[in-house]
Amino acid sequence: MDSIGPVGLQQGEGTPGCPQDSLLYPSDSSELVQDCLQQFKVTEPQLQQIQTSLLGSMEQALGGQTSPAPAVRMLPTYVGSIPHGTEEGDFVVLELGATGASLRVLWVTLTGTEGHSMQPQSQEFVIPQEVMLGPGQQLFDFAACCLSKFLDTLPVGNQGLQLGFSFSFPCHQTGLDRSTLISWTKGFRCSGVEGQDVVQLLRDAIQRQGAYNIDVVAVVNDTVGTMMGCEPGLGPCEVGLVVDTGTNACYMEEARHVAVLDEDRGRVCVSIEWGSFGGDEALGPVLTTFDRTLDLESLNPGAQRFEKMIGGLYLGELVRLVLAYLTQHGVLFGGCTSPALLSQGSIPLKHVAEMEDPSDGATRVHTILQDLGLSVGALDVKIVQHVCMAVCTRAARLCAAALAAVLFRLQHSREQQMLQIAVATGGQVFEQHPRFLSVLQETVMLLVPECDVSFIPSVDGGGRGVAMVTAVAARLAAHRRLLEETLADFRLNREQLAVIQAQMRKAMDKGLRGEASSLRMLPTYVRATPNGSERGDFLALDLGGTNFRVLLVRVATGVVRITSQVYSIPEYVAQGSGQQLFDHIVDCIVDFQQKQGLSGQSLPLGFTFSFPCRQLGLDQGILLNWTKGFSASDCEGQDVVCLLREAIRRRQAVELNVVAIVNDTVGTMMSCGYEDPHCEVGLIVGTGTNACYMEELRNVVGVAGDSGHMCINMEWGAFGDDGSLGVLSTCFDASVDQASINPSKQRFEKMISGMYLGEIVRHILLHLTSLGVLFRGQQTQRLQTRDIFKTKFLSEIESDSLALRQVRAILEDLGLPLTSDDALMVLEVCQAVSQRAAKLCGAGVAAVVEKIRENRGLEELTVSVGVDGTLYKLHPHRRTDLAKVQLWSLLLPAVLPRWPTSEESSGICWTRAWNPLVSSQPSHPRLPG
Ligand code: ADP
Ligand code: MG
């Protein structure tokens, strides 16, 4: 086909617009029409190509690539969450730049119930030409003045008002309420505004005005307003699509994928700025000669190529170019153009839509074109209608390819088989051209069949959306305050920790002297830590609280080999009769012996028994009381070794030689001590928590002898049972305590250990839900269920390698459907609860090591703490290398007030204890040599 000339330009002489000579008539006019229409056809592979290419540009821009500059900009808007539908209140919206030379103020009332939107009140003010071109301050003063005038008509009073600022000019946004104008467009040329934060300029102007107390909460562009103003469809509305004069879209992206953001949690709305997509590479195959002409004749040749194929400003223009071309080639209107047909902008979008209309389009073609000075024949009508359809169909299909790129990205990044999502649509093309949406819809289904998309038209040009952004921002701020208030009591400061340390120390001293104290300070009859020369094979039992383990420990020169098996203790056994419990234990040992080929051998057996026992010797331990969910009958007050021996007797033909009963803290200290002579403290953070340490024998009342040492089992889980922890205990701790099988017992343990942390978190989540801060305020049966929130979830949720997406997955598995704000808050709750636990533990350890130092009259003490327990070992922030530093920093606040300031001078060697622990070596009893 011939290349078309600049059809908008002047014609030759003679009758204006009429061909001079019949040679211009083509031999086959219908072929020319077909050829024109054919150019506007975009095949499915071409659409897919565009989709892929746009996706590539989006990813480059998200990743922060600058050279070559990606074809789209992907600007973060700092809108981090979509509406709940529960937003309510009155909001003021100021719109500048959306409607040409006017400014609109809206009063939007959100009712908090979906489907009950109230019509906003609004007023439009024409901006005088001299203001549009004058100093910036004058423009913003004008805006503030309009605001006041509008508000004067409403019964507002002097209440504080929250304002959303819709500012539709190219901006560089750096926060929800911070946005720098890049350059004016749309006829505005106010001095001193480019490069400035427009929110601050507006705030200053409102301040100068002084009439109302208005807080500018958010600044938003029209795409975001469209998305946010939309009521959710089948899925959440997380895409905004505007096809107005131009076109653009925004969607909710994972913040961690947006390179320019520091935040890597949660989501953020990204404005794609896809109008600029294109260039010859991506769009070349689908560009027609008419597109090239349109671009050349536009105000910004070479720019916004994609927008020029889709935006409402250009569709009429494309139709006009085709009609002019066909006329000039004698195919239409008898070959006679008109001045109107040859002038830019003479066919508006509205006319294109009307001429296409299947019912009375034909009549409209006649009137519209006759108004342009053309004489229209019957065949002309058909051709004109085909041209309109070709141009608009192509626009809708291209738009669909772009939208498909966004949907594809969402579906894949969220790993969903079927993405259910709502797309909010706004702009005059949707309003004036009904078929646009149906073609768009059809093509989207073709390109991304795995996405179930509902399209929802926006109301009142996004004003409601801007109010929504403002409301969400205000709601989040309010929720954050409530969250902070709720968690405040969990954030222990240095002074509080110093108090705990001091109280712990006092309770230790009293307990050692045999005075009333919440710390029992039980002698263990372990008088020395290992010296590394121990040898032999041992059987070991470990009854901890959650699991029961049987171990075979073989100690040869410098090597300890351990084989073990874990057996579960069903709750009915733990809470049944004592006889049943000990029979079960012996059954497990017999099973283990058989599997290990040890039947018939009588190895020395050590029993790690992690409940408070008063020991009278190495192989005698009277159970004082059960803890950690155990309540087997007829055991308290009995010698546990006897109970075990009786069970062995009942099970005839088994020979077992019980030589020692050891608390798990002691076992841990001893096993670490085997490799580290500085290890003189044992710490457990598992189902429960406890500690032991080497005390001077002279300080231990009730055990003969004044020289040497003895390991003391502190039973620190009970610390605070005399009420001394009362001030630190929150209402959540009280609830957990009340619901436990041992109310008002083990108060320290209940703030620290694995059996309780999940429950504390659950109670906090319940409270936050009742405040409406979480889960949209909807209480679920699931969350009311005791122990539904396992302590291991805390570890999983706090694990740095898991994205918030996984937090969501964990909670959704629990039947708690949540938003990304919810996920963030749940994460913060978990962090607060486990940090408090770590700090309390740290304060306790500080008291212990300080006591050892004083005992020995040392300026500096080098001591290692052997630690065991699944909570400790598997919690991400206690285990990793970085976590060592973190635990340091958690411990030191408690330690520093009483010790020299630097690590070196305090000389406590914690680090040496970590190695055996991190290698997850189980604790086992070691017999002192
Ligand atoms: P015990 O204290 O009974 O000897 P453990 O030291 O193995 O046993 O601790 C078990 C406890 O550890 C469980 O009750 C649970 O609360 C907690 N726990 C289990 N898995 C994890 C995990 N992945 N992260 C943190 N805590 C965990
Ligand atoms: Mg244990």
Q: Which residue's CA is minimally distant from atom 23 of ligand 1?
A: 792
* Residue 924 confidence (pLDDT): 34
Percent of the chain that is helix, strand, coil (3-state, to 5): 45, 20, 35
Task: Kindly give the number of the ligand 1 atom that is closest to the alpha carbon of 754.
Answer: 16
Q: Is 371 a catalytic residue?
A: no
DSSP state letters, 704-738: --SSSEEEEE--GGGTTTTTTTGGG--HHHHHHHH
Note whether 665 and 685 are within 8 A (CB): no
Q: What are φ and ψ of residue 427, in 5° steps?
A: 115, 160
Q: Are 669 and 677 in contact (CB under 8 A)?
A: no
Alpha helices in 153-305 (DSSP H): 198-209, 222-228, 279-283, 289-297
Q: Return the exposure string of 40-66: e unless at least 16 CB atoms fall within 10 Å of the residue's CB, then b.
A: bebeeebbebbbebbbebbbbbbeeee
- Within 10 angstroms of residue 100's Cβ, the number of other Cβ atoms is 12
Q: What is the pLDDT of residue 19?
A: 41
Whole-number pLDDT of residue 420: 92
Per-residue pLDDT at 200: 96
Q: How far apart are alpha carbons 833 and 460 in whole angstroms?
A: 45
Q: Which two tokens stand for residue 910?
A: 């914690």
Place of tokens 């949907």: 407
Record the tokens describing residue 714, joined without a space.
């502190």
CA-nearest residue for atom 14, ligand 1, is 687
Give the residue among 475, 440, 478 at the shortest CA–CA distance from 457.
440
Q: Looking at the chain, how many residues does it have?
A: 929
* Ligand 2 geometric centre to CA of 548 (Å): 9
> Model confidence over 188-222: pLDDT tens digits?
889 999 999 999 999 999 999 998 999 999 999 88
3-state class (DSSP) for residue 812: helix
| 8 Å CB contact between 426 and 240 | yes
In this structure, the residue with its CA closest to atom 15 of ligand 1 is 754
Question: What is the structure's pLDDT at 522?
Answer: 95
Q: What is the reported pLDDT for 885?
A: 32
Cβ atoms < 10 Å from Cβ of 601: 13
Return the beta strands (E) in 458-524 as ranges: 522-523
What's the confidence (pLDDT) of residue 238? 92
Please state whether beta strands 161-167 and 214-220 pair in parallel, antiparallel, or not at all (unpaired).
parallel
Predicted confidence at residue 639, as pLDDT, reads 96
CA atoms within 13 A on the CB side of 845: 30
What's the pLDDT at 652? 82
Report the nearest atom of ligand 1 relative to the CA of 874: 24
Instruction: Name the token pair of 390.
Output: 């070709």
Q: Give the pLDDT of residue 617.
A: 84
How close are the terminal C-alpha atoms of the chain, in Å?
101
Long-range contacts of 761-767 (CB under 8 A, 24+ apart): 761/789, 761/793, 761/794, 761/826, 761/829, 761/830, 761/833, 762/786, 762/788, 762/789, 763/732, 763/735, 763/736, 764/486, 764/487, 764/732, 764/829, 764/833, 765/789, 765/826, 765/829, 767/486, 767/731, 767/732
* Residue ranges of the chain with per-residue pLDDT less than 70: 1-28, 99-100, 114-117, 186, 232-234, 279-280, 461, 530-534, 558, 653, 800-805, 877-929
What letter would DSSP give residue 157? T
359 Cβ contact partners less than 8 Å away, ≥ 6 residues apart = none
Instruction: Please check whether residue 93 is in contact with residue 247, taking contact to mean a CB–CB distance below 8 angstroms.
Output: no
Give pLDDT, residue 795. Answer: 84
Q: How far, in Å, CA of 757 to CA of 751, rounded? A: 7
Q: From CA 639, how far away is CA 627, in angstroms rounded?
A: 16
Question: What residues pair up with 105 in beta bridges, in sequence order?
Answer: 94, 123
Predicted model pTM? 0.68
Classified as helix, coil or strand, 178 is strand
Q: Which helix (H) or strand (E) holds 486?
A: helix 463-488
| Cβ of residue 545 lying under 6 Å from some atom of ligand 1 | yes
Whether residue 836 contacts residue 490, with contact meaning beta carbons closer than 8 Å, is answered with: yes
Per-residue pLDDT at 914: 24
Give DSSP secondary structure letters for 85-97: S--EEEEEEEEES
CB of 874 closer than 6 A to ligand 1? yes
Catalytic residue (choose from 664, 676, 821, 868): 664
Check pocket membership of 755 for ligand 1, CB cut-off 6 A.
yes
Dihedral-angle region of residue 701 (phi above 0 means left; psi in -120 to 50 means alpha; beta otherwise): beta
Ligand 1 atom 1: residue of nearest CA: 544
Active site residue 178: no
Q: How much is the pLDDT for 918?
A: 23
